Amino acid sequence: MAAEITKVDGATVRDDFNAINAVLHYTRAAHFIGLWKSERELITRYLPDRNARLLEAGCGAGRVTVGLWHQGYRHLTGFDFAAELVEQAQNLANEQGLKDLTFLQADATQLSACHILYDKLFDGVLFMFNGLMQIPGRESRRVAMRELHRVCRPGAHFLFTTHDREDPKDVKEWAKEADRWARGEQNPRLLEFGDRYFSDENGNTFMHLPDRKEIFEDLAATGWRHIHDRTRDELASETPAVRNFSDNCRFWVARKG
Ligand SMILES: C[S@@+](CC[C@H](N)C(=O)[O-])C[C@H]1O[C@@H](n2cnc3c(N)ncnc32)[C@H](O)[C@@H]1O
């Protein structure tokens, strides 16, 4: 009997991030790449108060949270659902003797299960390097956006990134993918048009690529107000190390209330 093909779900993604190649990849980034210029530029523009209580969702091995500590922020909490990455983030902070930052294992779609976060109110929240789009299923991404909204004070900013499905260089590829979906010949593990699930030297990666309309609808449906968006390349000229680590992406800034 043929094995049943299952859709990618949160457990698949968590297992992929806990796998050795992914852990090495994100740990190297946390140790040797740190904050990108574009991230620094947007963070200091929208979260200028170094005393702000900031929450980083999908903190991985600590690249952004530890980078924020070095920018002078002192009330930092990072969480990730991949235990192996959280351990790496904690090791990095310990190695550098950093205090005043907290790393937790938690799932962005189930924050109410995390007692430490339950009654906290943050001044800002970040979900960088496309982590939000690595949640399979639009409704689950909306659950995460609502959960992050719930743990923020009114006026808090939410910064996140996506890959652009409407990038002109990819239009032909997406047209071919639309034909595959129309014929029912897409990868059966995908949930929605715009999803990708691929393997490379860093392991397996699930990623949803949204269009603009979808992000506007999801922000409105989860209580966030769109403030600003720009591509990384519009914001800054990144070093070769950053460009090797990641393709261009779009930064979004939203506000609670
Ligand atoms: C592309 S990695 C980025 C890691 C880190 N922020 C960086 O920039 O190096 C995305 C991260 O989001 C995390 N993630 C994805 N879905 C999540 C969820 N539902 N809850 C918590 N973390 C999640 C993954 O485990 C992974 O560490």
- Nearest-CA residue for atom 25 of ligand 1: 82
**CATH code of the domain covering residue 138:** 3.40.50.150
Q: What is the pLDDT of residue 119?
A: 78
Determine the length of the chain.
257
Q: What is the pLDDT of residue 1?
A: 66
Q: Point out the ligand 1 atom lying closest to the alpha carbon of residue 130.
A: 1
Residues 124, 229, 118, CA angle at the centre, nearest 5°?
25
Query: Where would I find the beta strands (DSSP E) of the chain?
Result: 53-57, 75-80, 101-105, 122-127, 152-162, 195-200, 203-208, 224-231, 250-256
Ligand 1 neighbourhood includes 23 CB (under 6 angstroms): no
Inside any domain, residue 164 = yes
Inside any domain, residue 89 = yes
Q: Point out the ligand 1 atom lying closest to the alpha carbon of residue 29.
A: 9
- Nearest-CA residue for atom 6 of ligand 1: 59
> Residue 99, exposed/middle/buried by CB under 10 A (0-12, 13-18, 19+)?
exposed
Ligand 1 neighbourhood includes 58 CB (under 6 angstroms): yes
* Candidate of 25, 59, 128, 142 to mutate for ligand 1, largest count of ligand atoms within 8 Å of Cβ: 59
Specify the number of domains making up the chain: 1
Inside any domain, residue 1 = no
Inside any domain, residue 94 = yes
Token pair in block for residue 64: 């952004």
Residue 137 has a CB neighbour count (10 Å cut-off) of 17
Are the CB atoms for 111 and 147 separated by under 8 Å?
Answer: yes
Q: For each of the chain's 257 residues, which pLDDT tens digit applies? A: 677 899 999 999 999 999 999 999 999 999 999 999 999 999 999 999 999 999 999 999 999 999 999 999 999 999 999 999 999 999 999 999 998 899 999 999 999 898 888 778 999 999 999 999 999 999 999 999 999 999 999 999 999 999 999 999 999 999 999 999 999 999 999 999 999 999 999 999 999 999 999 999 999 999 999 999 999 999 999 999 999 999 999 999 999 99
Residue 223, SS3 per DSSP: coil
Ligand 1 neighbourhood includes 117 CB (under 6 angstroms): no
Instruction: Give CA–CA dist 13/1, Å, rounded.
Output: 27
- Provide the domain limits for residue 110: 10-43+50-252
Rounded to the nearest angstrom, the distance between the alpha carbon of 81 and the centre of ligand 1 is 7
Q: Point out the ligand 1 atom lying closest to the alpha carbon of residue 59.
A: 6
Ligand 1 neighbourhood includes 129 CB (under 6 angstroms): yes
Q: What is the pLDDT of residue 90?
A: 98
Ligand 1 neighbourhood includes 13 CB (under 6 angstroms): yes
Query: For residue 92, which phi and psi values (nearest 5 degrees)?
Result: -65, -45
Ligand 1 neighbourhood includes 93 CB (under 6 angstroms): no
Query: For residue 3, which phi and psi values (nearest 5 degrees)?
Result: -65, 145
Inside any domain, residue 216 = yes
Ligand 1 neighbourhood includes 52 CB (under 6 angstroms): no
Inside any domain, residue 4 = no
Rounded to the nearest angstrom, the distance between the alpha carbon of 216 and the centre of ligand 1 is 22
Write the CA distances from 28 to 60, 143, 148, integer angstroms: 11, 30, 27
